[in-house]
Amino acid sequence: MNRIFSGMQPTRQLHLGNYLGALKNWVRLQDQFEAIFCVVDLHALTIDHDPETLRNNIRAVTAAYVAAGIDPEKNILFNQSAVPGHAELNWIFACHTPLGWLNRMTQFKEKAGKHRENAVLGLYAYPVLMAADILLYKATHVPVGEDQKQHLELARDIGGAFNRYYKRDDFFPLPEPQILGEATRVMSLRDGTKKMSKSDESDYSRINLTDDADTIALKIRKAKTDPEPLPETVEELEKRPEADNLVTIYAALADSSRSAVLAEHAGSQFSGFKSALADLAVAKLGPIAAEMKRLMDERTELDRILQRGAERAGAIAEKTMGEVKDIVGLLRY
């Protein structure tokens, strides 16, 4: 049986990278798979946070999932901390993860920066919890943006190590990453060589899912570009990261391809292309922002969705944890 698991951190606002790299694909995949979508609130504790803002962000991410088109009845939608199995399996996996594997994780190196000695254990162990998230549900497929590829390889390694250690060949399936669509790595609007990210200090580097039409248009108008008109071929975009990024965003929003976008816009100046892109972005993202806003005023509806999701996720998780405890040699009563 195929089952999807994926999640987003409720840190700051979701942005266009989260949408095009992950959420938009989830909406399509929910028709083909049994799917579990999680708001990974325990992961959000690995960086500085304010408790009240975190609580609000958990609901905001839930609202974004639903507003983008995730059906909370058909799929399981819940917040990670509501199911204790995540933290439990995390510990068991931590006891099977060599430090050498964690030392290779590039995202830890980037996030810890120069102050590695002061980085917290949770940030270092972050990918182990991520493996637990996925394998607690024996998920077979994980739709994510490209930046999560290394973490997913680690999840496969950890699942494989567990299976081998306890001689239970197929206990955990080794999950397949699904890195799909035209925009698997959306770049900053200010620097085409940097990933669009929640943590960039400039709000002009990203389009937030809650931005209004004027803000979206302004950010696109101010996006960094080069002086050349748009080329005819995708190959010619290679050395033009900002142009490539805007064409990629256009293609992903339009459910098209970069070559089809270039066929239509080759020779255009950026001023004209940016205004077409702004119109497209507002048309696609505007309804999501409006629905998010409506849902954020319906707190009881959001909480009901999360509570129901936690019950359904909890039932699957409890079964796996029972099996895991038996396999590793723990007693349960």
Minimum gap (Å) between residue 289 Cβ and ligand TYM: 18
195 is catalytic: yes
114 is catalytic: no
- Structure tokens, 137: 């549900």
Minimum gap (Å) between residue 142 Cβ and ligand TYM: 5
Residue nearer to ligand TYM on the CB measure, 194 or 304: 194
Give residues with Cβ within 8 angstroms of 246, minimum separation 6: 220, 223, 225, 270, 273, 274, 277
* Chain residues in the site for ligand TYM (CB under 6 A): 5-9, 17-18, 21-22, 40, 43, 130, 133-134, 142, 144-145, 147-148, 151, 184-186, 195-196
Gap between the Cα atoms of 102 and 122, Å rounded: 12
Minimum gap (Å) between residue 155 Cβ and ligand TYM: 8
Other beta carbons within 10 angstroms of residue 250's beta carbon come to 24
Catalytic residue among 111, 149, 319, 325: 111
Residue nearer to ligand TYM on the CB measure, 268 or 280: 280
Gap between the Cα atoms of 227 and 19, Å rounded: 29
Q: Is 73 exposed, middle or buried (0-12, 13-18, 19+ CB in 10 A)?
A: exposed
198 is catalytic: yes
Look at the chain and count its residues. 333
Pairing of strands 141-143, 176-178: parallel
Residue nearer to ligand TYM on the CB measure, 43 or 96: 43
Gap between the Cα atoms of 30 and 21, Å rounded: 15
Catalytic residue among 24, 138, 195, 219: 195
CA atoms within 13 A on the CB side of 224: 16
- Structure tokens, 283: 């048309």
Residue nearer to ligand TYM on the CB measure, 179 or 289: 179
CA 229 to chain centre: 33
Residue number of the CB closest to ligand TYM reads 21
Minimum gap (Å) between residue 282 Cβ and ligand TYM: 20
Catalytic residues: 111, 195, 198
